[in-house]
Structure 1
Amino acid sequence: MSDPNIHVPMNMVTRILISQVSSCPICLTDVPVSPRMLRCGHIFCYSCLLRFLSSEPAMAASNSSVHRLTLKSHKECPLCFDVVDINKTKPVTFSLHDERFEVPREGEDALLRLMVRPHGSIMAVPANSLLAPSEFETIPWYYSPGASEHARIMQGTVDYMLSEYEREIREIKNTMIEDELMFGDAGYYAKLAISKIHEAMKMINTTLSNDNYNGNKDKNSSSDDNDITSDAYNTCDLNETSILAADLESVSLDNTPELSYNTTETLGNSMGSVEVGSLYNDSTAYFFYQTSFNSVIRYFLAPLDINILRSAFGFYSSCPSVLLVKILNVVHSEVVTLDLQKRSKYLAHLPVGTEIAFVECDWSGVISDEVLKPFSEVLRERKKKKKQKERREERDFQRARAEEVAQRDELLRESGYELSVYERLYSQTMPSSKSAKQSGTMVVMVPRPTSVLESTSEIESGSSSSRRTVWGTSAVGDAPEPILDPIQRQLDLAASQDHDGASNGKAQKKKSKKMVLVSSGGKRLF
């Protein structure tokens, strides 16, 4: 199978591995329980999907002249309205990875691995891997080292499929117990999902329970293990005709529990523990650097940086297997196209539509100045373009921020609200786009925080009918007066009278001060 754009028939797919988790659109759980993928690609909990399919059919307007309502004879995906076929759903396994530690960032160090892909193969592995050349001609097993990170298609065994189904049953039972305790749910659809999983397990056992898949071989016989290995790889030829014509029984599932990791160890020992990178050169394979293998986006070394390394080491195959360098820039918004595959043949193993990004690195201190000197002008131009891009993004960010503030002020002006001094200062001191990107936060407009006096007065008033502003604070004039004791009221009255007399002393004749007597009601003031 040398063309990555050839679609694999869905009847050959037994399970789909996804590195990015998507929540269930029905129950909104973060990680769907026993997830199932529809033909459209959306993922649901198995029990939620069964509940949705058994619900009452929706009403749809017919195309008749009377526009009468008719019942739909099928269910549609609630997200994209594609027809749902329960027989075409596929089980899903999430390989959970935290992309915060996978995505390369500007100004940080990144670990680049030298990858090798022989001509005519769609599988790329690290150059320091211990693999035989014959492994590039077959689909790797799911337990092969690095298969989940580097292979797009893997072979699964019967034991693997049964273990995954058993794990799903345990998860459904745990969720059923929680739903019963929290919501009083009887768990009808959860039990229905478990019964359907048992049926799928029974079908796998009955379909593949023959002498070729029972795996009843002597584990102590190394020759038998080698025979199993050769037979397993021979039955899974990678040419396009056999892949597209094979059925579920002969390709996707094989009960070979004795293989485990002994297959890789046997191959490594037969090759004398030789790294795969030493078996190929620039004329027989493609060499390139890649990082962040568990990320949804594939990150590759930029073409200019590849040329610098080739100038330093002479050949791609002679480059170091691992590099730790500082990242200067990450160029996103790249998608694999047919034209890109023709221009950059080392990316021809990726299907069309794959999101990729190129990493630009700082080679000062890593590569000698003599090697970098011929590229000084190009590196200077790349740095200049990066600064121009940052200035352009900063201008766009400031323009968008100004438009947002203007729209907000217009809405507040129409509602009769006037910005306070704090809010105006906050609007003028919003962070820039660069600081927002580095902090990883989104710039939003927040209201002025309520002071302690305002919150106290609101609690004491206990009134829920006072008018509020769009920011959630009490409108001017609606705030109730603070509750003071009689002594404090008299002291405030005396202070206000003294202030009025002092302010009118210039225009009028100075009057004699009056004594204000304060009664404490028989209580001591001090």
Structure 2
Amino acid sequence: MADDMGEKEEVKKVGSGRSDGRRGGRGRGRFGKSPGGDWNQAKKTGQRDRNGNKRDAKNGQCDLEVSLQEELMSGGLRVRGRRAQVSINHLLQFQLPEIERQQRTGRKMGRRKNDNGTVVHLHGDSFINANYRLLVDDSCEYEEQGLDPNVLVPQEKIVRVIVPRGQNCPICLAEEPVAPQMVACGHIFCLSCLINFFSVDQVQDKTSYAQKKRLKECPLCGSIVRSSKVKPVLVEEIRADEIPEAGAETCLKLMCKPHGSILPLPVELGVDPLAVGNVPSLDLPQVADYAHTIRCSSSKAIDLFQKDIDGIKTQYEIDKILYNDDGKYYKMAWEDLSDRITKISSQQNDDKPAIEKAMESLDLGVDLKEKYQDSNAFFFYQTSFHSSTRFFLSPLDVKILLSAFHHYSDFPENLQITVENVNYGSILTPEMINRYKYFGHLPFGTEIAFIEVDWRDNPILPKEVYQQFNTELKQRRRKLSIKKQKEDKQKLSYQKRLEREHAEFYKRENGEPLTSQEAHALTALADDYLLDSLPSPSHDSSPERTLNPDRRTHNERTIWGTSIPVIPDEKSSRENQEFEAMLLQRMQQDNEPNEAPKNGKKGNKKKGKVMLFSNTHRNL
């Protein structure tokens, strides 16, 4: 009986991992070499113990974990290696810090944030919606887009994305992409180039463990692009004189946007925006030029695809002659366009009723100033309607006109002005729309530029009104002058610093280390020779300048085509002259007629070899 009790007590000690041989296991650094090690292994595998009784593996695993924890806490387990020397006890008491929430007060602390400081993140379809106009299928009503311009048009309803001319294909580098297509990030490619891009598989290095990318990335920005998100593009012309510039004259049109409409139209056009609708038809060019979303009929869509096919065939003939191109991807491109034409033709309806309905809605001759007032419509000035940047009159100039005409609706229909400045960099945000209500027809993220008017010698503005705002106009003109002077000064300083660095570099490469006096003179030379457009009256612009009484500089042309000042070294010059004389003498000897060979034998005269040496003397 005593033996049984002793055996149970021994098993209990071994099972808890606290046997008498616990300290003895430190030398080996391994757990399980205690008297109970074999029995612990039996617990893991579910085998039998010393007495032949089968142990439960699940209970044995729990007991083993408890034993390991006790060994770790008591220090009985020792592990070798560098990791064992790093203490991680601080992780046992790790707690996440409490989040300190600041109580918001009515008064903002620190600098007041500008409305333009709000960041608007645009990506994918939202970027395209904010920067380009859209041709959409005329089979839908687009009521949601008529209420909110930020609601995106579904991918399958977009017929074309209207972009200004000047977009190049980044794959073939064509100035005008053939059958242009736009990917999700907004970059434009030729259709044949895009098909080639999607068909090429990624080259996987056999020695690399990196996984092969499943999705394609834009070669310009790295965004994920998919063939299902590609949109056809319609390129439109933008005249250079449409973009307002400082010092040039431009014409602003008075726009009328009734409340509840997102289609502003010029007052001089005489068309009611509510009668036309928020999404006009492309068959009404007088109205479509001012709309963001335009309906496109099936017949017009087919004509556009047919033009793309003609462009692809023409480009294929050119590449076949010039580069002997087999036309694989060109054929795939026009087959894809032919399938699109077939799909549209199968769903095509009679477009004549839609065109007739659009022409009936175009009621010309409506006096918008009589029909709409400041209470039920917005009146504002705008220009350059085909540009992705929207140009509006600055708030101060609007305030001046309001003081002169008392009502927005009484503003002149056309405002011929001289542009004093154009302020770029404003992005439409919700805060800006709350401040300027007439921006409500534009989506968030649209780039806006404000035009500042030079009211001097402008007959539209009365003199008393000009005198009233003379102080503000002078202050604005003064800020503009200070800004330009600051920019010119920074540009001039950067150019001088760049030219001085180049001059010092060339000097170090061609001559001796400079003393302080020579470095000062070299800086003056750099200003004279390398900044010809900015002459300094205090420096002489002669080709030679005296650095020391016995030493003069001259200019030499480098292999890069630049002119640098060089101080001649007398010793080096004398050696160069001797070398040139020796080389000239050797060349004259080679040109002399060969002597007759002796004993009637033809002698093979070996050509002389000239060994060239280069030696640069530097005084340290």
Q: Please, what TM-score do these two structures have when normalized by structure 2?
A: 0.59
Deviation of the 1:166 alpha carbon:
0.4
Which residue is 1:276 aligned to? 368
| 2:532 corresponds to 1:396 | no
Q: What is the deviation of 1:148?
A: 4.3
CA gap 1:190/1:105 in 2 versus in 1, 3 angstroms: same
Aligned to 2:233: 92
Give the equivalent residue in structure 1 for 2:458: 365
1:189 maps onto 2:329 in alignment: yes
* 1:48–1:191 distance in 2 versus 1, CA, 3 Å: same
Deviation at 1:423, TM superposition (A): 6.5
Q: Which residue of 2 aligns with 1:513?
A: none
- Is contact 2:496-2:527 (8 Å) kept? no
Checking the alignment, whether the CA contact within 8 Å between 2:426 and 2:448 is kept in structure 1 is yes
**Match of 2:188, as an amino acid?**
I
Taking the TM superposition and a 5 Å limit, the aligned residue runs for 1:35-434 are 35-59=180-204, 68-98=209-239, 100-135=240-275, 137-206=277-346, 208-209=347-348, 213-215=349-351, 228=353, 256=354, 258-259=355-356, 263-264=358-359, 266-269=360-363, 273-363=365-455, 364-366=457-459, 367-416=461-510, 424-430=527-533
Q: Distance in 2 between matches of 1:268 and 1:84?
A: 41
Tell me the amino acid that sits aligned with residue 236 of structure 2: S
- Match for residue 30 of structure 1 among 171, 175, 179: 175
Provide the secondary structure at the position in 2 that maps to 1:128: helix
Q: Which amino acid aligns with 2:170?
A: P
Deviation at 1:10, TM superposition (A): 1.9
**1:190 and 1:427, CA in 2 relative to 1: closer, same or farther beyond 3 A?**
same
Give a deviation string over 1:368-394, Cα, whole Å, max 9, x none.
212222212211211221222122222
Report SS of the residue matched to 2:194. Answer: helix
Q: In the TM superposition, what whole-angstrom CA distance separates every residue of 1:390-447 from its partner, at most 9, and x where no partner exists?
A: 2222222222222222332233234327989997524334369xxxxxxxxxxxxxxx
Whether the 8 Å contact between 2:421 and 2:452 is mirrored in structure 1 is yes
Distance change >3 Å, CA 82–CA 420, structure 1 → 2: closer
| CA gap 1:86/1:132 in 2 versus in 1, 3 angstroms | same
Give the Cα–Cα distance (whole angstroms) in 2 for the partners of residues 431 and 285 of structure 1. Answer: 54
1:2-21 equivalence runs, <5 A: 2-21=147-166
> Partner letter of residue 504 of structure 2?
E
Q: CA deviation at 1:359?
A: 1.1
**Residues of 2 paired with 1:359 and 1:268: CA distance?**
31
Unaligned runs of 5+ residues in structure 2 are 1-145, 513-521, 536-542, 544-556, 582-620
Distance, in Å, in 2 between the alignment partners of 1:415 and 1:148 is 64
How far does the alpha carbon of each residue in 1:198-231 deviate from its partner, in whole angstroms, 9 at most, with x for none? Answer: 001111112x24xxx234x6xxxxxxxxxx3xxx
Cα separation, 2, equivalents of 1:114 and 1:73: 52
Q: Judging changes above 3 Å, is the alpha-carbon distance between structure 1 residues 399 and 119 closer, same or farther for their aligned structure 2 residues?
A: same
Quick one: structure 1 residues 147 and 417, their matched pair in 2 at CA, closer, same or farther if it must change by over 3 Å? Answer: farther
Quote how far apart the aligned CAs of 1:278 are: 3.4
In the TM superposition, structure 1's runs of 4+ consecutive aligned residues that sit over 6 Å from their partners are 417-423, 472-482
Q: Any gaps of 5 or more consecutive residues in structure 1?
A: 218-227, 229-255, 433-447, 449-466, 483-526
Counterpart code for 1:37: M
Give distance in 1, aligned partners of 2:273 and 2:231.
32
Determine helix, strand or coil for the equivalent of 2:391.
strand
Counterpart secondary structure, 2:492: helix
User: Once the 2 structures are TM-superposed, how far is the Cα of residue 2 of structure 1 from its aligned partner?
Assistant: 2.6
Partner of 2:490, secondary structure, is: helix
Report if aligned partners of 1:130, 1:268 keep a CA contact under 8 Å in 2.
no
Equivalent residues of 2:183, 2:229 under 8 A apart: yes
Secondary structure at 2:415 match in 1: strand
8 Å CA contact retained: 1:121, 1:136: no
| Paired AA for residue 323 in structure 1 | L
Equivalent in the alignment of 1:496: none
Instruction: Quote how far apart the aligned CAs of 1:325 are.
Output: 1.3
In 2, Cα distance between equivalents of 1:404 and 1:130: 58
Deviation (angstroms), 1:19: 1.5
Question: Hey, what does 2:559 align to over in structure 1?
Answer: 469
Q: What are the equivalent positions in structure 2 for 1:468-507 lying under 5 Å apart?
A: 469-471=559-561
Give, in whole Å, the separation in 1 of the partners of 2:382 and 2:179: 33
Distance 1:311 1:379, change over 3 A: same
RMSD (CA atoms): 3.1
CA spacing shift, 1:333–1:75, aligned 2, 3 Å: closer
Moved more, 181-190 or 352-361: 352-361
Structure whose CA Rg is larger:
2
C-alpha change, 1:304 and 1:74, in structure 2 (3 Å) is: closer
Say if 1:189 and 1:159 are closer, same or farther in 2 by CA, change over 3 A. Answer: same
8 Å Cα contact 1:130/1:276 also seen in 2: yes
CA distance 1:431–1:116, change in 2 (3 Å): farther
Question: Could you say which residue in structure 1 is the equivalent of 2:19?
Answer: none
Compared CA separation, residues 128 and 417, structure 1 to 2 (3 A) = farther
Q: Distance in 2 between matches of 1:422 and 1:406?
A: 9
Q: State the AA in 2 paired with 1:379.
A: L
| CA distance in 2 between partners of 1:417 and 1:12 (Å) | 70
- Structure 1 residues 359 and 43 mapped into 2: Cα distance closer, same or farther (>3 Å)? same
- Contact (CA 8 Å) 1:287, 1:316: kept in 2 or not? yes
8 A Cα contact 2:264 2:273, kept in partner: no
Query: Any idea what the Cα deviations from partners look like across 1:355-375, whole Å, max 9, x if unmatched?
Result: 111111122332121222221
Q: CA 1:172–1:67 in structure 2 vs 1: closer, same or farther (change >3 Å)?
A: closer
Deviations 1:103-138, CA, capped at 9 Å, x for gaps: 212222111110111112221111112323433543
With over 3 angstroms needed to count, the CA separation of the structure-2 counterparts of 1:312 and 1:183, relative to structure 1, is same
Could you tell me how far apart the structure 1 residues matched to 2:155 and 2:321 are? 39
Q: Report the secondary structure of 2:234's partner residue.
A: strand
Percent of residue pairs identical: 32
The answer as to whether partners of 1:292 and 1:298 remain within 8 angstroms in 2 is yes
Alpha carbons 1:60, 1:70 under 8 Å: kept: no
State the secondary structure of the residue aligned to 2:251: strand
Q: Indicate if the aligned counterparts of 1:37 and 1:91 stay in contact, CA closer than 8 A.
A: yes
Q: Secondary structure at the match of 2:474?
A: helix
Cα distance in 2 for partners of 1:481, 1:145 equals 78
Counterpart code for 2:430:
L
Q: 2 CA distance for matches of 1:175 and 1:431?
A: 49
69-78 vs 117-126, greater mean Cα deviation: 69-78
CA contact under 8 A between 2:400 and 2:465: conserved in structure 1?
yes
User: Displacement of 1:473 after TM fit?
Assistant: 7.7
2:386 is paired with a residue of what secondary structure? coil
